[in-house]
Homo-oligomer: A and B are copies of this chain.
Amino acid sequence: MNPIKPLLIFLHHLHPISTETEADLLGLCRLKTYGKNEEIQAIGATCRTIYFMVSGVGRIYYLKDGKEVTEYFAFPNDLIVRAESLFTQLPSKKAIQALEDSEVVAIPADPLFKLFEKHHDLERLFRLLVQNAYVETLRRLENIQFLTAEERYEKLIDEKPELIQKIPLKHVASFLGITQVSLSRIRGQKR
């Protein structure tokens, strides 16, 4: 099977695009593979690429006072984008890393944006993607602001139970906005 197929299914589900649009889009996509713990994009580079996870697990992280903070996890069929850099053209303070051996589709943003001129439906699709990511972030903001660490952990457990199995707890902790130590205590008191 064409390894890029999952991306097309994912996109189509959000907003159908014409076959010509799809063909032009496919022309931009490159399938890449990365080994466990390999950096997909390093800190400091300005982000000009949109990634889509086909297999494996990825994350976005950055350094806060010398410590890694995980901002996002990507599982198969998730997009993974350093939006703050892609949309501002500023160098990103964040890195993208494969946490396991992974396959990703890489889509260079500049030619993609050029395609928007030609294919209105592609820009529509992209707009909807951004809207969804925006709403998702608004939710995360409310969670961080009003739930306790423990509530956030519980919520994560029932929204993405597989996450806890696959991902080192230290990454999970920083994703939840707490320390490894606190997460360990929360887990401890459930047993």
Residues of A within 8 A of B (CB): 64, 69, 83-84, 87-88, 116, 120, 123-124, 126-127, 130-135, 137-141, 144-146, 177
Contact = CB atoms under 8 A, between A and B. Distances in A.
Contacts of A135: 83-84, 87-88
Nearest to A82: B138
A133 B134 CA distance: 8
Contacts of A69: 146
Nearest to A116: B124
A145 B84 contact: no
Contact of A138 (B64, B123, B137, B146): B137
Contacts of A84: 135, 138-139
A132 B87 contact: yes
A177 B145 contact: yes
Contacts of A83: 131, 134-135, 138
A164 B156 CA distance: 36
A146 B88 CA distance: 22
A144 B88 CA distance: 21
A141 B137 contact: yes
Nearest to A62: B142
B141 A144 contact: yes
A127 B122 CA distance: 12
A131 B116 CA distance: 15
B134 A130 contact: yes
Nearest to A131: B87
Nearest to A139: B84
Contact of A134 (B116, B126, B134, B145): B134
